[in-house]
Amino acid sequence: MREIEVGEVTQLVRDLCIETNTCLREDQMAALRRARGDEESPLGQEVLDQLLENAAVACSEGVPFCQDTGYAVFFIELGQEVRFTGGHLGEAIDEGVRRGYVEGFLRKSIVGSPIERENTGDNTPAVVYYDLVPGEALKVTMLVKGAGCDNMSALRMLTPAEGLDGAKEFVVETIEKAGPNASPPVTVGVGIGGPFEKAAQLAKKALTRTSGEPSPDPGLAELERDLLARINATGIGPAGYGGTQTALAVHVESHPTHIAQFPVAVNIDCHSHRTRRAEL
């Protein structure tokens, strides 16, 4: 049994909040550079140049890449041989978010109630998903999720008869409806299967994968390539100004489902695609 003092978790989360908001991960930078090389529209090229410049300045100056520093979303892989000491894991994560957003001078965007709309003042509570896995490690993946692109996301309960063709149509339709409002070039997470809520969770978790890394499942990898080609054929382009690079990557995750269902969720992340991993 391995013991981890919760203060270590707080420090790790605090650092993740600041680093994820200020420095885009290298795979995202590579995706933007690749899009710049492939973009055919002069206006789209200019948008991508500005995004690359903004990313370089944000990281070197330690300032947020985007003013919307979003939800603090965490996917936790918790080894079942780990025991926490000195407090509660959930509280330690929230304390890390609190310190990160205050000490990093990051915008606080969370309201305690969607009805009363009073800001919590420190961007807590975090949104946390736990997976219990074998071993003694604690792996933490953070996704900073802004509201503009999240508002453009969608879920549909298809029938098995609508099947894969219906799923493809729904994904592309969702991107077309989002248009410039999702701040393209986007990264698209797609979750298929499971009950209602599982599809949405899969779609969001898919966003944390290395940009453009194909699914290990050959069928899903083919689906990802097909969807990326269809989305980029819409002509929405960077910032919605037209072009060939509407999406940088499409990541699909799947889960077993009911014989009478074919759930499909689409979670969109904007050009400010901020995710990072750390481990204790």
Query: What is the pLDDT, as a whole number, of residue 28?
Result: 98
Task: Let me know the angle formed at the C-alpha of 222 by 152 and 170, rounded to the nearest 5 degrees.
Answer: 30
Structure confidence at residue 208 (pLDDT): 98
The confidence score (pLDDT) of residue 38 equals 98
pLDDT tens-digit readout, 195-251: 999 999 999 999 999 999 999 999 999 999 999 999 999 999 999 999 999 999 999
Residue 253: what pLDDT? 98
pLDDT band at 125 (very low <50, low <70, confident <90, very high): very high
Alpha carbons 76 and 41: distance in angstroms, whole number:
40
Rounded-to-integer distance, Cα 143 and Cα 276, Å? 7
Check residue 243 and give its pLDDT: 98
pLDDT value of position 157? 98
Q: Per residue, what are the HEC states of the chain?
A: CEEEEHHHHHHHHHHHHHHHHHCCCHHHHHHHHHHHHHCCCHHHHHHHHHHHHHHHHHHHHCCCCCCCCCEEEEEEEEECCEEEECCCHHHHHHHHHHHHHHHCCCCCCCECCCCCCCECCCCCCCEEEEEEECCCCEEEEEEEECHHHHCCCEEEEECCCCHHHHHHHHHHHHHHHHHHHHCCCEEEEEEEECCHHHHHHHHHHHCCCCCCCCCCCHHHHHHHHHHHHHHHCCCCCHHHCCCCCCEEEEEEEEECCCCCCEEEEEEEECCCCEEEEEEC
- Are the beta carbons of 83 and 158 closer than 8 angstroms? no
Mean pLDDT of the chain: 98
- Give the pLDDT score at 96: 98
The pLDDT, as a whole number, for residue 51 is 98
Partners of 277 in the β-ladder? 141
What is the percent of the chain where pLDDT is above 90? 100
Look-up of token digits 């969807």: 227
User: pLDDT, tens digit, for every residue of 78-91?
Assistant: 999 999 999 999 99
pLDDT band for position 104 (cuts 50, 70, 90): very high
Per the confidence metrics, is the pTM higher than 0.85? yes
